[in-house]
Amino acid sequence: MATESVASVSMAATSMASKSALYQFLDDSAEARPQHPAVEEPGTASVSYQELAELSDSLRDRLIHLGVERGDRIGIYMRKSVDAVVAIFGILKTGAAYVPVDPGAPVSRNAFILGDCAVKAVIIESGYVDKFLAAREVGQDIPELFSIDSDLGERPIKQALEQAQAHDPAPGSATADPRLDDLAYILYTSGSTGKPKGVALSHRAAISFVDWCSDTFTPDSSDRFSSHAPFHFDLSILDIYLPLKHGATVVLVEEGIGKDPLRLAPFISENKITSWYSTPSILTFLAEYGNMTRYDYSHLRRVLFAGEVFPIKHLRRVKELLPEPGFYNLYGPTETNVCTYFEIPAKIPVEQMQPFPIGEACSHYQSLVVDEQGQPVRAGEEGELCVHGDGVMQGYWNLPDRTAAAFLVDSTGKQWYKTGDIVVEEAGGIYTFVGRRDRMVKKRGYRVELGEIEAGIYRHPAVKEVAVIALRDKDDGVVIKAFISHTGEQRPSLIEMKQFCMQVMPSYMVPDLFAFEASLPKTSTDKINYQELLRMSIA
């Protein structure tokens, strides 16, 4: 029987012994390199390590003055910025956990998230306050709001703290004593019930990942790391904490630039990025539309990608344009961050037609492939990838049944997180991704539950039934298609449905295709026949 692939954990364990909380990375680097740029927002703002540490201390004091205690949850309702990084570390220094929301998502979704985990306070840009308060459910407690006016110059959070201090002085407070198993952050992902679910991760989980990154990628203080992912996306954990651990610089990529290859290509060059991390789709857009041959990428040392399968023809093109950096495929759901990795060869063989493997288990993980009964399978056979290690989530916030169902408990009592991904173990403990076990798909790097899309579309008054399927596109990944039957004689228009979906769900969840049917096919038990819908789409 195969095989539990057990990676060495000694190096990660040794490294972790020196740190017990994420904010220590910042404070240690601030002591070692106080004037070095910690975070840059090109064209807008920059902050040194010393200033970032001092501002986060001031925010810690203000939050504790507002009643925040160890173990609380604090929302971050802000656009990605230097100030948002200050918010993250100020929260962590109180001993609380941060809960970032997407300011571009429907306000009802964000209000649900912040209500679901009962945040004690929210650090929020002033422009979002009224809509957020209006979207909260009747009877819910209103959290303390620390409002920041983004029009207050280069460092709005500094001015907001100074104004608050002048009006209502907050005494100096001690930073919370670090504990590895304290909750550090909650990242909300799509839920099959139609409501987002919160993935709760500890300092232990994040530090074990950052330490693994240190050992694998060997960064130093000269590095300039891109921060392309939004802070509510798990790719941001590497973007923020790995460079700050090493006294390097985080370069924030503004959302508008991050989605525009004609602006992003020169941005990477002009800001001398040495370490890039994003989803494959962003790299594909850069290669196809960024005119990359016009720019100097000699500073770039490593290119990391995660979140979705990288079609081989697109990866080959990116590597032709960027022949010098090392390329790494990083795999893992939000519940584990990265749990396997694969270094792409310097030259992709001409005969290579299939995507590269997701690789071997990271050093802070053990891995296991099991069948539907939870029994290990032989190497070379398909099965579900399960992992055990310090990087695994504590659970889903306030969902004990979902948490229990997410783990396999073996005969020794060890808990293995069930990734839901079907893999094959090849020679040398290398895993090849086959597909998903459930209806969760990855699109543009985001994890999407098809059931959540259906729940959103059902809110349209003219929709009688809806079923959403995911179709595989060999070149572009996942195409989401919604089948709709409607009430009344006149069906909603395609434009109307697109606009409605944009109002009730994040843009990456809006279906690519809509099909209108008089009725949807059913199984013998009167359930929607998804297999028939797939056949209809392929025919």
Q: Where in the chain are the domains?
A: 6-343, 440-538
Residue 169 has pLDDT above 80, yes or no: yes
Query: Over the stretch 189-222, which tens digit does the pLDDT of each residue have?
Result: 877 677 899 999 999 999 999 999 999 999 999 9
Q: Percent of the chain having pLDDT more than 70? A: 95
Could you give the CA distance from residue 173 to residue 513 in angstroms, rounded to a whole number? 54
- Domain 440-538 is in which class? alpha beta
Residue 350 has pLDDT above 50, yes or no: yes
- Give 417's strand partners: 387, 407
Could you give the CA distance from residue 247 to residue 268 in angstroms, rounded to a whole number? 20
Mean predicted lDDT score pLDDT of the chain: 91
Q: Which pLDDT band, with edges at 50, 70 and 90, does 12 fall under? A: very low
Q: Which pLDDT band, with edges at 50, 70 and 90, does 480 fall under? A: very high
Q: What CA–CA distances, in Å, run from 62 to 27, 82, 154, 174?
A: 19, 18, 20, 12
Q: Does 6-343 carry CATH code 3.40.50.12780?
A: yes
**Lowest mean per-residue pLDDT among 1-15, 124-138, 167-181, 193-207:** 1-15
Q: Which pairing describes strands 382-389 and 4-6: parallel, antiparallel, or unpaired?
A: unpaired
Q: What is the mean pLDDT of residues 466-476?
A: 81
pLDDT at 473: 76
Q: What is the mean pLDDT of residues 384-405?
A: 97
Query: Over the stretch 64-120, which tens digit does the pLDDT of each residue have?
Result: 999 999 999 999 999 999 999 999 999 999 999 999 999 988 999 999 999 999 999
Residue 258 and residue 235 in contact, taking contact as beta carbons nearer than 8 Å: no
Q: Which pLDDT band, with edges at 50, 70 and 90, does 8 fall under? A: very low
Q: What is the mean pLDDT of residues 278-289?
A: 90
Q: What dihedral do alpha carbons 192, 480, 472, 383 form, nearest 10°? A: 0
pLDDT at 313: 82
Measured in whole angstroms, the distance separating CA 296 from the mean position of its chain's CA atoms is: 29
Residue 252 and residue 40 in contact, taking contact as beta carbons nearer than 8 Å: yes
Residue 460 has pLDDT above 80, yes or no: yes
Q: What CA–CA distances, in Å, run from 438 to 78, 311, 384, 394, 482?
A: 33, 22, 11, 22, 17
Top pLDDT among 352 and 79 is at 79
Q: What is the mean pLDDT of residues 252-260?
A: 93
Residue 527 contacts by C-beta under 8 Å, 6 or more apart in sequence? none
Query: Over the stretch 105-133, which tens digit does the pLDDT of each residue have?
Result: 899 999 999 999 999 999 999 999 999 99
Could you give the CA distance from residue 12 to residue 24 in angstroms, rounded to a whole number? 17
The residue ranges of DSSP E strands in 113-196, in sequence order, are: 121-125, 144-148, 183-189
Q: Which two tokens stand for residue 212?
A: 């693994």
Q: Which pLDDT band, with edges at 50, 70 and 90, does 355 fall under? A: confident
Residue 323 has pLDDT above 50, yes or no: yes
pLDDT at 535: 87
Residue 3 has pLDDT above 50, yes or no: no
Top pLDDT among 471 and 251 is at 251
pLDDT at 6: 43
CA angle in degrees (0–180, nearest 5) for 346-348-351: 155
Residue 13 has pLDDT above 70, yes or no: no
pLDDT at 308: 82
pLDDT at 92: 98
Q: What is the mean pLDDT of residues 448-476?
A: 84
Residue 505 has pLDDT above 60, yes or no: yes
Residue 14 has pLDDT above 60, yes or no: no
Q: Percent of the chain having pLDDT more than 90? A: 72
DSSP-based three-state secondary structure for 144 = strand
Neighbours of 7 (CB within 10 A): 19
Could you give the CA distance from residue 492 to residue 161 in angstroms, rounded to a whole number? 49
What string of H, E and C letters represents the secondary structure of 374-403?
Answer: CCECCCCCEEEEEEEECCCCCEECCCHHHH
Lookup result for tokens 């004593």 = 177
Buried/exposed 295-333: b ≥16 CB within 10 Å, e otherwise: eebebbbbbbbbbbbbbeebbbbbbeebeebebbbbbbb
Q: What dihedral do alpha carbons 186, 187, 189, 192 form, nearest 10°? A: -10
